[in-house]
Amino acid sequence: MTKTFNFNLENTYSELPEIFYQKLTPNPVAAPQLVFYNEELGKALGLNNEQMQHEDAVAVYAGNALPPNAIPLAQSYAGHQFGHFTMLGDGRAMLLGEQVTPDFKRFDIQLKGAGRTAYSRGGDGRAALGPMIREYIVSEAMHELKIPTTRGLAVVTTGEGIQRETRLPGAILTRVAASHIRVGTFEFAAHFGEIEELVQLADYTMERHDPEVKQADNPYLAFLRNVVERQAGLIAKWQLVGFIHGVMNTDNMTISGETIDYGPCAFMDAYHQEAVFSSIDLNGRYAYRNQPSIAAWNLARFAETLLPLLGKSKEEALEYAQDAISEFGPLYQKYWLQGMRQKLGIFGEREGDEALIEELLTLMQHYHADYTNTFLALTYDKEEDFPLGRMDEFINWKIKWQERLESQEETKDASIKLMHEHNPALIPRNQWVEEAIEAAVEEEDYNVAEKLIHVLKSPYAHTDVQKEFAKRDYDTGTSFQTFCGT
């Protein structure tokens, strides 16, 4: 037992049937060292930030000690990985419990890279430092971009090496999530559990994320529709900032609507609909343009798990499920169009808006224009500084765009303000993230990552520091690759 650190853990997930988890004995590590601690998140969780950086807390992040009331467990789930169904589960993660904050919100506290579990499938259950730093940096950037996401509370090195293609320093990430319940959790229940266990999982998840649906005429259908809407909004936000998840398997889609598992993720530099960075996505299944359709496919798998609960007959349940899934496309399109209008300073809705947006994106792809910087150039009225801005096709497009802005009641200043609020000053460029990882792994220099995390805060503030940082060199090519890290 260690100090309290203001942990206020409960363990409602452990009250589900034992089929949904394996209770664990933590796997201690040799010499843990704290390398990152998220004070902003710690404060939001109601934790004492000074105590949370003490050596006793570091022992908790490493799995060498447990906080009061922790019931360590690995969660069971299945999933469609690149379209193929398989049994999975937390092969290197350990849920400590649920932190209940001073304002009565509930968040999972999980250790990622904590050692072998029943679901490790021959793996060592450990994580390398590089991928844990990537997840810590990118998830914080996503939070600052106002995109729902899991977050990192801390990263510790373990003092132990792990073997991948080469020997690498080990690390553990303390991950915080509204919950780690996934589409794959429901697939597991539907394939390997009894109907009573599926009902218990659904009721628990509804109580945790959608308690209001209990009052609906068909609570499970209302629950499904809520999940569909959350995911439509999430994927639209990904597309609007050029984020590519890289491995949108069903076990990587949360019921809460948070982005999870930053393995081979990346942000686009040059705009291209077919952009793929993941080394394991050989056929482009999870390419940038495919993310909305893959999300709909994943949600269809979720709906299938709920069929026994949706209707009085199979036919009725299937009709309800199909209707709910059919809502994803229009919802996604609504959120995406709304976001693109905001990025272009457009108020209201007009018939030609989508065509105007698509024309710009087509030009950007043809001329390999940087996605983020093109919208910034329009925001700052500096498009002539970029090659695209000097092309005749773009000049003709700009005339139409200006006519659209001039036809609305809102002022030019209002449009510029709208654009500032929805076009980030900078994103975590792939090369910058790699530089931060390399400095940490090769030289034990964490200052590069700390500086990057700092400059990525409040990206819509457009500070002078951010503008200066954004001028740094980065690779706009398509040769960059990301790796899963398992």
Question: Which of these three, 180, 209, 224, is where a domain ends?
Answer: 180
Burial string for 98-125 (b: 16+ CB within 10 Å, else e) reads bbbeeeeeebbbbbbbbbbbebbeeebb
Helix (H, G, I), strand (E, B) or coil at 172: strand
Residue 122 has pLDDT above 90, yes or no: no
Judgement on whether residues 254 and 154 belong to the same structural domain of the protein: no
The pLDDT score that the predictor gives to residue 71 is: 98
Q: H helices of 129-261, where? A: 129-144, 183-192, 195-209, 219-241
Judgement on whether residues 197 and 272 belong to the same structural domain of the protein: yes
The pLDDT score that the predictor gives to residue 1 is: 40
Judgement on whether residues 214 and 165 belong to the same structural domain of the protein: no
127: Cα within 13 Å, side-chain hemisphere: 29
Judgement on whether residues 66 and 144 belong to the same structural domain of the protein: yes
Question: Which of these three, 180, 207, 237, is where a domain ends?
Answer: 180
Domain membership of residue 446 (yes or no) is no
Amino acid identity of residue 220, one-letter, is Y
Domain membership of residue 392 (yes or no) is yes
Distances (CA, A) of 426 to 28, 302, 371, 380: 39, 35, 11, 14
**Bridge partner residues of 95 (DSSP):** 73, 110
**Bridge partner residues of 169 (DSSP):** 161
pTM: 0.96
The pLDDT score that the predictor gives to residue 3 is: 53
Count how many domains the chain has.
Answer: 2
Judgement on whether residues 189 and 129 belong to the same structural domain of the protein: no
The pLDDT score that the predictor gives to residue 2 is: 46
pLDDT tens string 259-298: 999 989 999 999 999 999 888 888 899 999 999 999 999 9
340: Cα within 13 Å, side-chain hemisphere: 22
The pLDDT score that the predictor gives to residue 472 is: 87
Judgement on whether residues 226 and 101 belong to the same structural domain of the protein: no
- Domain membership of residue 378 as a residue range: 182-425+470-486
Write down the mean pLDDT value for the chain.
95
The residues annotated with a catalytic role in the active site are 251
Which residue did the predictor score with more confidence, 74 or 383? 74
DSSP string over 31-50: --EEEEE-HHHHHHTT--TT
Backbone CA torsion sign across 291, 292, 293, 294 = positive
Q: What percent of the chain has pLDDT over 90?
A: 91
Domain membership of residue 448 (yes or no) is no
Structure token pair of residue 5:
């650190």
What residue has token string 């996505």? 281
Average pLDDT rounded to a whole number, residues 449-459: 98
